[in-house]
Amino acid sequence: MERRNFLRNITTGSLALSGFTGTILTSGSNGALSNAKQFRLKYAPGLGMFKEHAGDDPVDQIRFIHDQGFRAVFDNGLMNKEPAMQEKIAGELARRGMDLGPFVLYADFSVMSMVTRDPEMMDMLKKKMKEGLEVQKRTNAKTALVVPGRYDQRLAWDYQTANVIDSMRMCCDIVGTSGLVLVMEPLNALANHPGLFLTTIPQAFMICKAVNHSSCRIVNDLYHQQITEGNLIPNIDLAWDYIAAFHIGDNPGRREPTTGEINYLNVFRHIHSKEYEGVLCMEHGKSKTGKEGERAVIEAYRKVDAFSV
């Protein structure tokens, strides 16, 4: 037996005994590492989703995620990480040719922020945008998520809408020269976030049209929109020009695809047919615990990525 085959067999046997069922990396004829078949779309696991297999180090997690065939990651808490860690994450993604999904730049669900003309709120938003630009410089992030906050029960809805438009235009003017795109996220008010201003894709589309800025776009969270309005594929088409990212989660339960009522096989087939090159953040929990749950997530994405083209 050749030495390299002997070593590979020893490694495979050892990993099997340890219970590891992930991809075994081997050297090809050109010396490059082979990995699991890449997914058709850029599904992006959140950092921490595969800690049972990859451990606590975000860099190790990125390596594991890449080895399973994923081409992107996202991290809602990226802004809260130390600058040195942000740079390490960006460096590992660059080495592996992977994309970074939207990080949360501003999302305070407890206050009325963009719906008002409060000078303190405007100053806060300006400060946040500048902080987001620093994160972009360290990570080369292309998109950052914003939520307009709660609605004002004492102010007419149209005035609030006008205020959100002005607030978003101000924020986009700050980040626009850098190329950073702000993606507004409509969230459901029925199951998770009662009291928020932005809830539907048509509403977000209208605001983007009014802001009229290249940095003003939408993240379409399919879990939230299934609860709020359904009609997922038609709304994807109608708002397509302003959708810069997706969030994924099945309903009910907000777990991996195939655990709920959304036909993600058809939804992903449709998105793929539109030649979408952006990120789809896997912003959901797992239907099972431990390593079994992590493997179930990967298997679910293999099922819904197996659409015909």
Mean pLDDT, residues 177-188: 97
- Rounded Cα distance, 136 and 117, in Å: 27
91 lies in the same domain as 217: yes
Domain membership of residue 143 (yes or no) is yes
126 lies in the same domain as 274: yes
State whether residue 186 is helix, strand or coil: coil
- Rounded Cα distance, 57 and 190, in Å: 36
Q: What is the pLDDT of residue 38?
A: 96
Distances (CA, A) of 151 to 122, 172, 205, 207, 209: 16, 21, 18, 15, 20
16 lies in the same domain as 113: no
pLDDT band at residue 39 under the 50/70/90 scheme: very high
271 lies in the same domain as 186: yes
Q: Quote the percentage of the chain above a pLDDT of 90.
A: 88
Question: What 8-state DSSP symbol labels residue 180?
Answer: -
42 forms beta bridges with 279
Better-predicted residue by pLDDT, 290 or 24: 290
Name the burial class of residue 44, with classes exposed (0-12), middle (13-18) and buried (19+) by CB atoms within 10 angstroms of its CB: buried
β-pair type (99-100, 279-282): unpaired
110 lies in the same domain as 27: no
CA angle 44, 49, 50 (to 5 degrees): 110
27 lies in the same domain as 113: no
Q: What is the pLDDT of residue 309?
A: 86
Domain hosting residue 256, numbered range? 37-304
Domain membership of residue 162 (yes or no) is yes
Q: What is the pLDDT of residue 36?
A: 74
Task: For 74-107, write each residue's pLDDT tens digit.
Answer: 999 999 999 999 999 999 999 999 999 999 999 9
73 lies in the same domain as 188: yes
pLDDT band at residue 35 under the 50/70/90 scheme: low
The answer to whether the peptide bond before residue 148 is cis (omega within 30 degrees of 0) is no
281 forms beta bridges with 44, 247
143 lies in the same domain as 157: yes
Q: What is the mean pLDDT of the chain?
A: 91
Task: For 142-180, write each residue's pLDDT tens digit.
Answer: 999 999 999 999 999 999 999 999 999 999 999 999 999
Task: For 63-76, write each residue's pLDDT tens digit.
Answer: 999 999 999 999 99
Q: What is the pLDDT of residue 101?
A: 98
75 lies in the same domain as 10: no
Question: What 8-state DSSP symbol labels residue 241?
Answer: G
Q: pTM (2 decimals)?
A: 0.89
14 lies in the same domain as 57: no
pLDDT of 25 > 50? The answer is: no
Q: How many H-runs (helices) and E-runs (strands) does the chain carry?
A: 11, 9
- Rounded Cα distance, 197 and 152, in Å: 8
Give the residue ranges of DSSP H helices in the chain: 3-18, 51-54, 58-67, 83-95, 119-139, 157-176, 201-211, 222-228, 232-238, 264-273, 290-304
CATH number (domain holding residue 59): 3.20.20.150
- The residue length of the chain stands at 309
Domain membership of residue 11 (yes or no) is yes
Decide if 269 contacts 231 (C-beta within 8 A).
no
- Rounded Cα distance, 169 and 171, in Å: 5
Domain membership of residue 309 (yes or no) is no
| Residue 92 CB contacts under 8 Å (≥ 6 apart), including other chains | 59, 62, 63
140 lies in the same domain as 176: yes
pLDDT band at residue 33 under the 50/70/90 scheme: very low
pLDDT of 282 > 90? The answer is: yes
Name which of 6-20, 156-170, 256-270 the model is least confident about: 6-20
9 lies in the same domain as 102: no
Domain count, the chain: 2
